[in-house]
Structure 1
Amino acid sequence: MENQSVSLKKVILLAGALAAYWIGSGFSTGQEVLQFFTTSGTKGIAAALIFLVLMSYLSYTLYGIGQKKKFENPYDVFEYYCGKALGQVYTWYNVILIYAIFVVMLAGAGATIHQYYGIQTYIGTGVIAILALGTTLLGVEKLIDIIGVIGPVKIVFVAIVGVAGIITLSGQPTLLSEASNLMPTLGFKSASSNWAWSGALYAFLALMVSIPFQVDCGKSAGSVKEARSAALLGTFAFTIAIILLVIAELVYYKLIVGKQVPTLEIANHISPVLGLFFSVLIVVSIYSAVASFLLMTVRKFAPDKTKKFNIIATVLTIIGMFFGGVLPFDKLVNILYPFAGYSAIVFTCFMIFKELKGSGGKQDN
């Protein structure tokens, strides 16, 4: 009989870690939500619900299997679901994808800090890189502890912006329909012309970059029930953050036209103090995502807190800092991202097939 004890503190921590992992620079600036959801107007809220349904099942399954199988290497989950040959293809694709995004975020970190605080770009990049490396060297458990606390804080700040939007909306109830009608004419980039597909695509992209991380989080739980509860709570909290941000971006659509950082514009409009906190939040979001993506890359090559792990993490950080502004990694991600969505759909099919066969439900003792 498997242990089914549940610690509420651990559930919140693991749920927060998942939310923090997903709330990186793209989400915290508001650009991801804008392109995948808000550009669809009020249908963006329905798209968020599609994300919720898909991601709840996928995270529930991955957290559960992470706890049941306790893979020594989280990338072993690809072979578990897809077999040896295809599993290896997925493993290396995932490593490349995660490291490419790590380098892009590291390169963008310096520019972001320079834009907000006027600090030299290379200093900003270096500070984020050193903080991320230091956190990574502490190991996966400590990383989960740290970003598990950061996740709920991020959601609270997004909630403040969303609630402000709802309050404004209560006085001007026609704002949502007005913004929905105008969205296609405002020049915003959109992830897809179909609102339902945008919600599904966001779920598959979120899946593809977080599979090893979710497996590690599941392994960290005290029981299968605890792991699955954390997965559902984390996905639900993240979806609430999406919906609140969609509402805020629709309500304040005039403020964010042509702006690279919609959340900062909205926060500054609500209160300069909130704007200052949001600028800090964006930097913290970049740091937590960079640390998480670095750790997940290195976990392919060595167990955490080993000498080999520390050396590889340090080398990859130096490479990321050096080449971040030189190599066209943004183009690499533009190539990897669309493929990531479709490859995640195929992986999901393998997951569902294995789970339905029943072999996913057996536990190794």
Structure 2
Amino acid sequence: MIMKRTGKVLQIASTYMGTVVGAGFATGQEILQFFTRFGYWGTLTIALSTFLFIWLGSKMMLIASDIRAKSYEDLNKALFGEQYGRWISHFMFVILLGVTAVMLAGAGTIFYENWNISYQTGLLITIVGCYFLLRKGMKSILMVNAIVVPVMLLFTVLIIIDTFNTPGAGRFISLASDHSIWAAWAAPFLYAAFNLSMSQAVLVPLGAEIRDRKVIIIGSWLGGMGIGFMLLAGHIALSVHMPGIQQYAIPMGGIAKQLGQSVQFIYVFLIFAEIFTTLIADIYGLTLQLQERLKWSRSIITTIILLFCYMASQIGFGPLLSTLYPIFGLISLGWLYLIIRKRMGRSEA
């Protein structure tokens, strides 16, 4: 019984971490933009982000478990009422569709830039992999994250050990910044808002499957602290190389080069794996949402979503990322405000 509960706790933690740790996180760009560029404030704002991930991640899954939500629309209706909940879910659907297209484009870019395989071929390989894995439903998401997340954690530990052996390892404590302190303290809310609103697509059905509240709470704590640990490790490593590291498209890749070619190859593969985990999680959430409305078979809906994302990914990774993410961040901030305001009374009743 204890082993079974421990297994479920680890499943929740790894799925939570794998869903949040997407392409922007793994490359180091998100950490740089939301935390490191603000200098020593970054450490404190990472602590705030970690708190938000623990608190609101568990809140989402507990409510989903209590109401036995079939999709994130059920959660939004329970949180914000029938009418507003439906509108928020429509927004989330559009956002998730856009993020999925960005993730697919990112996967194609990795094939082209790192493995000398054409962008189109990379897209098709990723799509086929997604389709066959998603036929297994939630099991596939749990399985992929159970493999990818521990490896990502191990790599993060290697990076942090190497950083502490580098001159200037303590720069994250004293690093100055010209950016506004208000922007620095707004960043963790924006970061948590975007990632939490995106992760509800998989965390809601996961929470709904688990009846044990303690398992959900402990899993959320572990997952939130794991996200915080990886944020802090990345921030410490990037701070050593500031401000020069800002010129790299993949900042963490530049740091990984110092650990040798084999580590760099593993890291590039990990970036792809992190994109892939986010991709299948998003498609799974979108499929459940549409299936509840249309009553079509899951495989048909998955195919339609993949085809749409394939067409959207023709725009390219860079243009999609720079255009869509700022809009999504602002919309998600409104969602974060509403979920923070919402009392847990209804779910505990």
> Under a length normalisation based on structure 2, what TM-score does the superposition of the two structures give?
0.91
Residues 119 and 55 (structure 1 numbering): CA distance in 2 closer, same or farther, change over 3 Å? same
1:219-278 deviation per Cα after TM superposition (whole angstroms, max 9, x unaligned):
233511111111111011110000010000011336623100011110111222211110
Matched, 1:234 2:223: yes
Matched, 1:283 2:275: no
Matching residue of 2:347: 360
Matching residue of 1:89: 87
Asked whether the equivalents of residues 109 and 125 of structure 1 are also in contact (C-alpha less than 8 Å), the reply is yes
State how far apart, in whole Å, the 2-side matches of 1:278 and 1:342 are.
Answer: 34
1:11 deviates by 0.6
Asked whether the equivalents of residues 158 and 245 of structure 1 are also in contact (C-alpha less than 8 Å), the reply is yes
1:12-91 to 2 correspondences below 5 Å: 12-91=10-89
Asked whether the equivalents of residues 28 and 250 of structure 2 are also in contact (C-alpha less than 8 Å), the reply is yes
1:153 deviates by 2.0
Asked whether the equivalents of residues 6 and 222 of structure 1 are also in contact (C-alpha less than 8 Å), the reply is no
Give the 3-state SS of the residue equivalent to 2:70 in structure 1. Answer: coil
1:112 deviates by 2.2
> Under a length normalisation based on structure 1, what TM-score does the superposition of the two structures give?
0.87
Give the 3-state SS of the residue equivalent to 2:71 in structure 1. Answer: coil
Give the 3-state SS of the residue equivalent to 1:107 in structure 2. Answer: helix
Consecutive unaligned residues of structure 2, counting only runs of 5 or more, are none
Asked whether the equivalents of residues 66 and 347 of structure 2 are also in contact (C-alpha less than 8 Å), the reply is no
Residues 310 and 194 (structure 1 numbering): CA distance in 2 closer, same or farther, change over 3 Å? same
Give the AA of the match of 2:87. V
1:128 deviates by 1.2
Matching residue of 1:132: 130
Residues 146 and 191 (structure 1 numbering): CA distance in 2 closer, same or farther, change over 3 Å? farther
Asked whether the equivalents of residues 148 and 270 of structure 2 are also in contact (C-alpha less than 8 Å), the reply is no
Residues 156 and 221 (structure 1 numbering): CA distance in 2 closer, same or farther, change over 3 Å? farther
1:97-176 to 2 correspondences below 5 Å: 97-168=95-166, 171-172=167-168, 175-176=171-172
State how far apart, in whole Å, the 2-side matches of 1:309 and 1:133 are.
Answer: 11
Asked whether the equivalents of residues 67 and 221 of structure 1 are also in contact (C-alpha less than 8 Å), the reply is yes
The two structures, once aligned, show a CA RMSD in angstroms of 2.4
Asked whether the equivalents of residues 191 and 198 of structure 1 are also in contact (C-alpha less than 8 Å), the reply is no
Matched, 1:334 2:332: no
Consecutive unaligned residues of structure 1, counting only runs of 5 or more, are 185-189
Give the 3-state SS of the residue equivalent to 2:290 in structure 1. Answer: coil
Q: Which has the higher mean CA deviation after the structures are superposed, 228-237 or 319-328?
A: 319-328
Percent of aligned positions with the same letter in both sequences?
19
Give the AA of the match of 1:317. L
Total equivalences in the alignment: 344
Asked whether the equivalents of residues 4 and 224 of structure 1 are also in contact (C-alpha less than 8 Å), the reply is no
1:334 deviates by 3.2
State how far apart, in whole Å, the 1-side matches of 2:115 and 2:101 are.
Answer: 22
State how far apart, in whole Å, the 2-side matches of 1:174 and 1:232 are.
Answer: 27
